[in-house]
Chain A
Amino acid sequence: MAVRALKIARAVAAFGLALAANAAHGGAEEGARLYLHGIGGDGAPVAATVAGGVPVAPAATACVNCHKRSGYGTSEARVRSAPLAGRVLFAPVLDGARPRPAYDADSLYVALTTGVAPGARTLDPAMPRYSLSRADAAALATYLRGLGAETPGVDAQSLDVVTIVSDTAPADVTAALLAVVERFVADKNAGSRNESRRAAAALRHPQGERRDRAWREWRWRVWRLHGTPDRWPAQLNALQAERAPFAVLSASVGRDWSVVHDWCESQRLPCVLPITDLPPDRPYDFYSLYFHGGALAEARAIARHLVPADAAPVRVLLLRDADPTAGTAAETLRATASREGADRVALDERVLPASASAAELDRAFRHGRPDVVVALLPAAAMRTVAAAALRDGVARVYTAESFAPWGSWSAPPALEVLHAYPYRIARSGAQFPRESVWLHGHGLDALPAVPASLALFACHAFGEGLADVNGVYSRDYFLESMEHLLDDTQMTSVLPRTTLAAGQRTLSKGAWLLRAGAGGRYATADWVAAN
């Protein structure tokens, strides 16, 4: 718990310090601590009550919880948290549902302590009443003046978007991603409804349609990273210095993505849905959004399928090779099994050399005498493993999509194979019907279905997120918009179940455990939560 609290504190503090570093005035750093943590200038937590007197912990009543990192607020649970970004708060609202005079530091103090806003309106009971000093209110005002400031990568006509690829990623995935994004952006910019003309006209007219004024042409570029991942941050810095984008629209850098994740986090640059099966385990980070949990989610799903709460004890032989991803996945599986399976799982882990002989495998089996085998191994190794399993009387083998993709090998019929699979399944017919229609219409049928479908969803999500901010081009607000719109989305996806909420950054939080059947099809499918 202390480690986790430290992680949260570190992530939020880093953000706060980064923001404070940009502050024009002194006091912004204190203001950031208040806004993000609920800590006053004297270093003590600021007491607050909610809903007519319920005392609630300062961490829970910190402004950021409802008014968000962007300062543009949110609407949730019948509570509308107003925008606090400086240019909104310190200006009057003349029209709309709630007109009010401009705030200043004094009226901010009054509103926070008594719940009475300028214009004598009483704030909603869900808004806390704080016990804070005038000095704290002044520090907060300074911080808020700097919040919601201009974001790089966008001007009156265009918005800069990049897709990041590397030499280390699988070439077919990269090719699919770039082909889809290029066509999508071309369509979007084609202006089939004269968007650029309407935008120009809207800018000239005071009553111009807000949505038209919000339109931007996408200037899309590809950032290509070369060499080993340790050299990427310097390349990314140079690329950004040339021209900073508003956000990153997907990426294909394979399993080395965590280097880019960390760089984007340090730059406060949104990275929307990179294609990777090794997202880093950073649950408190903000800027990267993922399709699914990759190899680690598959490992957790397998561990949970192995040890349901009322199951008998089980002996497991965990086979993997020297691949670092397999090592991390094995660690995750072991940790999940021990934390949740308690003493019901006896796990024997073996690292196999590249071409393990049948004899080596037989030794591993005889030593462990397992009930089941988990194989975090590529397809090439699976035939030997399957043969050894049958010889040693082990009836069940678990495999995972990140290591031996579905359909890449065929198991002997006597062996029960359970495969962790993150994507949508179909009993019959097309697996990704909607995506297939788009791909076919653009002459891209030859692309591999999964990365092409993932790429298309990333494009749709990115576009919907930009539409939703409706001209408020804040990177943080863009991500916050997607937290809502991707939760209840009508967009189809290659992922079977997608949900999202504030602070969550992974769309699909589980995997299918498919029981292989005849003819390369699955016989049964169990959904296993992997969060």
Chain B
Amino acid sequence: MPVVHPRRLRAIACFATAAVALCTGAAARAAEPAADPHAHHRAMLSGSSVRTSHGAYAVPDVTLVDEAGRKVQARALLDGKEPVALNFIYTSCTTICPVMTATMLELQRSLRGGSKTPHFVSISIDPEFDSAPVLSRYAQRYGAKWTFLTGTPQDVRAVLDSFDANRGGKANHAALTLFRHAGAPHWLRVEGLASATELAQAWQSAP
């Protein structure tokens, strides 16, 4: 009877263990002092398989390319004064990326007209295949009107590394959304396939 390859089974066992930990939510992380300003994030999302944390990420000084082929300074876009909602996809992905793009679209709709609307950005983790025209077609297919970024493999990898979003081959990529309010020192990191509602809540309560 065919079962999963041992190599994959080991990987799955690791993920299954992690998934169990994630499902038990707050218990996955060591208990933190009551002064922790982000405890409410964890409490809010502890019922789902989504995990939040925060981080300070130093974006490298590289030039990426958007879906229209225009050059974009990564640092100016992501370190600057604008609020940002960022995720990572690749256009050939058939598993979670369509869901993540649909979710980001729904999030964009729900936040439209609100007091603080982030600049939505999706960075491709497959810059070799995802050239600007390919990204443009993907955006059109989903009706996604936001910034999609690609670039040279080295530059994209440098940006992924800076956000701790680099998992080597594409098979290991993980659902990740990052939020930053204008001028905030930290990003809110949301790991896992969050719904648009969960992401909206994360955005509203991010520092």
Please pick, from B15, B131, B134, B168, the residue contacting A80 in the complex, using a CB distance under 8 A. Answer: B15
How far is it, in angstroms, between the C-alpha of A72 and the C-alpha of B3 when the chains are bound?
A: 9
B145-174 residues at the A interface, CB under 8 angstroms = 152-153, 168-174
Q: How far is the CB of A288 from chain B (nearest CB, A)?
A: 17
A527 pairs with B152, CB closer than 8 A:
yes
B95 pairs with A501, CB closer than 8 A:
no
B6 pairs with A470, CB closer than 8 A:
yes
Q: Determine if B28 is an interface residue (Cβ-Cβ < 8 Å).
A: no
Tell me whether A125 and B94 are in contact in the complex, defined as CB-CB below 8 angstroms, given that A97-B13, A510-B128, A529-B127 are known contacts.
Answer: no
Q: Determine if A313 is an interface residue (Cβ-Cβ < 8 Å).
A: no
Which B residues touch A64, using CB under 8 A?
A: 94
Q: Determine if A78 is an interface residue (Cβ-Cβ < 8 Å).
A: yes
Q: Determine if B206 is an interface residue (Cβ-Cβ < 8 Å).
A: no
Q: Determine if A83 is an interface residue (Cβ-Cβ < 8 Å).
A: yes
Q: How far is the CB of B167 from chain A (nearest CB, A)?
A: 9
Which A residues touch B15, using CB under 8 A?
A: 75, 78, 80
Tell me whether A125 and B93 are in contact in the complex, defined as CB-CB below 8 angstroms, given that A488-B168, A499-B128, A499-B129 are known contacts.
Answer: no
Please pick, from A66, A91, A488, the residue contacting B94 in the complex, using a CB distance under 8 A. Answer: A66
A125 pairs with B193, CB closer than 8 A:
yes
B99 pairs with A96, CB closer than 8 A:
no
B71 pairs with A79, CB closer than 8 A:
no
Q: Determine if A276 is an interface residue (Cβ-Cβ < 8 Å).
A: no
How far is it, in angstroms, between the C-alpha of A65 and the C-alpha of B9 when the chains are bound?
A: 20
Tell me whether A77 and B128 are in contact in the complex, defined as CB-CB below 8 angstroms, given that A51-B195, A340-B69, A484-B169 are known contacts.
Answer: no
B107-140 residues at the A interface, CB under 8 angstroms = 126-134, 137, 140
Q: How far is the CB of A59 from chain B (nearest CB, A)?
A: 8
Q: Determine if A441 is an interface residue (Cβ-Cβ < 8 Å).
A: no
Residue of A nearest to B152 (CB): A527
Which B residues touch A93, using CB under 8 A?
A: 3
A91 pairs with B16, CB closer than 8 A:
no
How far is it, in angstroms, between the C-alpha of A77 and the C-alpha of B3 when the chains are bound?
A: 19
Q: Determine if B48 is an interface residue (Cβ-Cβ < 8 Å).
A: yes
| Most chain A beta-carbon neighbours within 10 Å: one of B11, B12, B90, B106 | B12
Q: Determine if B92 is an interface residue (Cβ-Cβ < 8 Å).
A: yes
B8 pairs with A75, CB closer than 8 A:
yes
The proximity string for B residues 38-53 relative to A, scoring 1 for CB distances below 8 Å and 0 otherwise, is: 0000000000110000
Known: A76-B171, A484-B169. 16 other contacts (CB 8 A): A4-B137, A51-B103, A51-B194, A52-B48, A54-B99, A56-B98, A64-B94, A77-B95, A77-B96, A79-B95, A91-B1, A97-B9, A125-B193, A501-B93, A504-B92, A531-B131
